[in-house]
Structure formats: C-alpha cells, structure tokens
Amino acid sequence: MPKLLSLIVFAASWALVSAHTVITYPGWRGDTLHTNGTYSDGGIIPGSLGINHDNGSISFPYGMQWMYPCGGMPTSSNRTKWPIGGGTIAIQPGWFPGHSLAFFYINMGYGNEPLNMSHVMVPVFQIVGPSNYEYPGTFCLPQVPLPANFTPKIGDNATIQVIETAQHGAALYNCVDITFADPSEVAEVNSSNCFNSTTPGQDIGFQLVFTSTSLQSAAYPTLEINGYISFLCPLVLFAATLLWL
C-alpha cells in the first residue's frame, strides 16, 4: 500500500512538473511535452539550433519547454502561413502550475533560422488565471502587429516566440514557424479558433504591466515571488522517495 501511494504521489508530482503552453493558433513547432526535436516531421532541417555536442551531433532532449529559444524544438519543416501585416495568436496558458499570474512576451525572429528572437511584437502583459493549478482556458489576440520597422515580403519566413514566465520565475518557450502570406491564403480566424474563454473556472483576466512607451526603459517588471510551487515539487518528490523506501 505505501508503494502504491508513493506511485500515486509520484504521478501527481510528475503532472506538476510537466511544463506546457500551447499555441492553438496559428500552430506550433510541436508538442514539447511528448516530442523531442529529432522526431519532428521531416527530420531536422540542416542548420537547426539544438544542443550541440562536441562530436558534432545535435540533440533536442525530451520535453524542454523551458529551453531558449523554442522549448527544445528545432525549426519545423511544416511552416504555417500568417498574414503579411500581422495576425492572430491564440494561446492556452495554463498547463503548468504557478500560472494563475503569468507574464507573456511575444517576439519574432527573422528569417529561416533566426539567431535571436529580439523583435518585440506586443508589450509584455500579465494574465490572471482562474487557479494556480492546471486550467484549460484559452485567450486570443486577434490582431498582433509586426515588430516595429519590419516590412517582410510575401514568402519570407520568420518565427514567432511566445514566452510565459510563471510566478516562480520559470520561463516556458514555445514557437511557431511562419511564412508571410496574403491574408486570403491564411487559415480562417473565427470564434472556434480565436476566443477568450468565459466558462467559469477557465476565465482569464488581463493586466497591462506597463505601456509600450515605458517598455524601452523598464527592462523587466518587478515580480512578486510566490515560493509555494517551487517548494512543493521537491517536497512531493521527497515524500514519494520516502514512501517508496
């Protein structure tokens, strides 16, 4: 019985440490929880950035959503068309505990294999989720503009990076590779793929952290530290180990 209990506790703690955000529109490079980069469609594109080993090989270890720039996923070969003048981004933010308050950054990297994602698309904003545990809500920004002073041509490629930082400071990275297209060629945006959840328990509030003019001077917002989750995970693992012995 103690062993069964410890297994349950361990399973629960695994659910807690499994990091997850989902870009529901326009898509994503892949599920960083269940895929490693070596497994993406079409294999690894030559030149992809990963963990470079001394022997010259690269790898993208399992489930590394906290790894800059794109959660351990290499550039995908299945790019999504996205409007040339900016467009929709929809996100499920809550598949990670400690995110009842979270900051979001949406950036862009230019070209086929961006070396940085330094081009800001929207000012950092904060969401207030319904709970500090996993929750299924979705939010959607219907018209995300291009970074300032960036005018791509149809057919150019870029990568959109979504970063979510939790109250305990962990940053989750998630990317989608896009090709700029005429709006008429882009997957339709409608109320089934772009909505802010309103179901009780899935509702998400928004707070602007600061205005876009102060973005240039204030590098990082002041974070309110909540130590609860960062204490909880090691504790639960420790308890599981104790019970197993």
The least CB distance from residue 203 to ligand NAG, in Å, is: 11
Query: Residue number with the shortest CB distance to ligand NAG?
Result: 27
Angle of the 2-17 helix axis to the 228-244 helix axis, nearest 10: 150
Nearest to 20 by CA among 61, 71, 78: 71
Nearer to ligand NAG, 4 or 184 (CB): 184
Nearer to ligand NAG, 190 or 213 (CB): 190
The least CB distance from residue 235 to ligand NAG, in Å, is: 28
**Binding site residues, ligand NAG, CB under 6 A:** 27-28, 30-31, 36, 38-41, 53, 55, 57, 59, 61-62, 76, 78-80, 110-112, 114-116, 118, 139-142, 155-157, 176, 179, 187-188, 190, 192-196, 206
Residue 240 phi, psi dihedral angles, 5° rounding: -60, -40
The least CB distance from residue 37 to ligand NAG, in Å, is: 8
Other Cβ atoms within 10 Å of 67 Cβ, number:
18
Q: Strand, coil or helix: what is 4? A: helix
Q: Strand, coil or helix: what is 207? A: strand
The least CB distance from residue 15 to ligand NAG, in Å, is: 20
Nearer to ligand NAG, 9 or 44 (CB): 44
How would you classify residue 13: left for phi > 0, otherwise alpha for psi between -120 and 50, otherwise beta? alpha
